[in-house]
Amino acid sequence: MKTATIGYPRIGAHREWKKALEAYWKKDITEETLLSDLKQIRTENLKKQQGKGIDFIPSADASWYDHMLDTALSLNIIPKRFRDLEKTPGLETYFAIARGNAGAVASEMTKWFNTNYHYIVPEFDSGTLPALVNNRWSQAYLEAKAEGIETTPVLVGPYTFVSLSKGVDSISEQVETLKPLYIEVLQKLEKDGAQWVQIDEPIVSTELDQAQMKSIVALYNDIKAAVPGLKLKLQTYFSSVAQWSILKEAKVDGFGLDFVHDGEVQLKELKDAGFPEGKTLFAGVLNGRNIWKTDLYEAKELVSALSSISSDVVLQPSCSLLHVPVTLQTEDKLPDWLRNGLSFADQKLEELIALKELINGDATKADQQQSAIKQLQEAPGRQSTAVREAVAALSDFDRSTPFEARKLAQKDAFNLPLLPTTTIGSMPQTKEVRQERLQWRKKEKSDQEYEQFIQAETKRWIEIQEELDLDVLVHGEFERTDMVEYFGEKLNGFAFTRFGWVQSYGSRCVKPPVIYGDVAFDEPMTVKESVYAQSMTSRPVKGMLTGPITIINWSFVRTDVPRRDVALQIALALREEVEQLEANGITMIQVDEPALREGLPLKASAHEAYLKDAVEAFKAATSTVKETTQIHTHMCYSDFDAIISSIDALDADVISIETSRSHGELVSAFEKYNYDKGIGLGVYDIHSPRVPSTDEMVANIERALTVLDPEQFWVNPDCGLKTRGETETVQALEKMVEAAVKVRTALQATASK
């Protein structure tokens, strides 16, 4: 029995990939050095998988920034505003699409299905002329071959690529325009000597109808006919295949299926409809998205069931290992009972080999693993009777006063102008801020010295915000490394790695907390900083918390307790913090839920249950405050109109939404839905270093006011400013306030006539 990986983390064990990218953007290294550094990381990753004994090793899964953007640039699918940058599209065009430049906004970025990875959305328009301008897949295969490593090149499938793109009128017609280019890529790989090619089509794990699935089957039948000597692996992940009885008729040589997420359904589908004879089943039997060790005996039973369906089973993770950290080797600060129960990318490679050995009769490693899992289950802090009883007792999730009454009370309490201005929460974290935090963590700075520094930064930015004339201020979050990690460090039931980094978008990496036990409030987490900031100004300062659904979606979550219960445990802990803030005079409190949408299951039939749990968790955290306490939330944009009723049900007084790259699309949602609460649609994109003009922001505000009442509209950036530089931040906020004042003045002039 053979083993395979679908994809491997591209960032390097110490984020070498991120550091090389950012050095290049700062012009500290040349393009030649960047490409050399990235090649070294790719080669090390391939050799590591080869050394572990993996049979099917992926290539072309590495990236300069994002695999969807890689595909788009290689196929000459370049937004009109970037087409004149280079005669032959290269790094300048590539990074301009991803990050924007002085003359054009970056392409939209959104989540990769229901993960915390974000991709750059390809854009088609009437001037798009698809062509194979860079066969990156052949290059990656030959590069690995030169190192003596046989690999399986990985492509994003045409149906998934087009389905996730913008400007597409007909998916099937657009796929037809790309089919010859995919065939050209595959024919070159066949000529290069590749044995297998993996084509990722995760879109088939969503609820496609029969006609759509039949068109996918026809697509792959055409592709296979053009490359008869090349073995094609059609790879899916994140859920069961929607129409397996149809998809199995595709004339590919193997199917990669996920038996972890919705795995029981997938197994039943195979038992009912069968698996095509003579084809390889690449079985995703290890969780590629979480970090807990696998019960290899349970996995063996699954493989046994699959072996009765297919005579050729290959063991692999459920999806790319892009979604987990690289290695546990450097995690020497975790307690043994926890560390031994974890499995990062490198350890999952070892688990595949251990499972293979177990199936072949050697249980040595499997028994060691069982012992580690048992030790974790019996660990201190794993269970709390008090926490579980509190969750079981929850019944009323609503605020005592309806929104209309709260709106009037808050208007009197805050006396804000029309189109009030604010930011989302974080302010730029300079190199100095990060160095001070590192010195404090290393105990090179005392608690008092560190606190004095944080207070000085907070005071400085309160003064900057007042000078900018923002209406509602924030304390800047200089004490926080990450919006989830910070709270996890202060709650019971969480643990933290030292180097457990995972790519979120571009060079941005996050270090998700590990939720191993029942979650409970310990002591106030944000009160001191918020109260200090409020003492510096007469303007309202928002208290800033991260919401329960975002904490759970951006963490590695235990799997022995229902996710709903974990979310409610977090919500009750946050409720205590909200009440502490209110008791200390902070009466505008923002509980951010940027990850609420990205947790949606792939199947629409499961959305209602997920959204109900999400709404209840948010309300459990926020519903006990007084009517004059204004609850804000922030979330990232993705198909907002599909969940707008659930967003309304959160009953937040003000919501801000990340929309600057898709402003018009989101505004259209309000043409169909009567949303009556306060709302801020991000008027500029913080993911790009570009500083937009006042007129651009005015246009965004005015577009929103075609469907929203000026009385409910707030003006803000579309996300936190932590990753931006100070100069660009101040310049952008100046223009944002100018835009708000300009529109406010015009509205007041019109009203006075």
Count of CB atoms within 10 A of residue 8's CB? 25
Binding residues for L-methionine: 424-426, 477, 592
CB 270 within 8 A of CB 289: no
304 contacts: CB under 8 Å, gap ≥ 6 = none
Among candidate residues 533, 541, 543, 551, the one with its CA nearest the CA of residue 580: 543
The SS3 call for residue 328 is: coil
Binding residues: 15-18, 111, 116, 424-426, 477, 508-509, 554, 592, 598, 634, 636, 658, 719
Candidate list 67, 118, 632, 687, residue with the active-site label? 687
Q: 332: buried, middle or exposed (CB in 10 Å: 19+, 13-18, 0-12)?
A: exposed
φ, ψ of residue 545 to 5 degrees: the values are: -125, 160
437 contacts: CB under 8 Å, gap ≥ 6 = 450, 479, 481
Per the structure block, which two tokens stand in for 413?
A: 């309490």
Map tokens 């008729």 to a residue.
249
Packed helices 67-74 and 91-99: angle between N→C axes, nearest 10 degrees: 130
Binding residues for 5-methyltetrahydropteroyltri-L-glutamate: 15-18, 111, 116, 508-509, 554, 598
Helices (H), ranges, 378-522? 385-393, 403-414, 431-441, 447-468, 485-488
Among candidate residues 490, 484, 493, 486, the one with its CA nearest the CA of residue 512: 484
Q: Is 261 a catalytic residue?
A: no
- Give the Cα separation of 52 and 241 in Å (integer): 30
Per the structure block, which two tokens stand in for 20?
A: 């090389």
DSSP codes, 552-570: HHTSEE-SSS-HHHHHHHH
- Give the Cα separation of 178 and 658 in Å (integer): 31
Among candidate residues 591, 583, 718, the one with its CA nearest the CA of residue 656: 718
**At residue 722, what is the residue type?**
K
> What is the set of active-site residues?
687
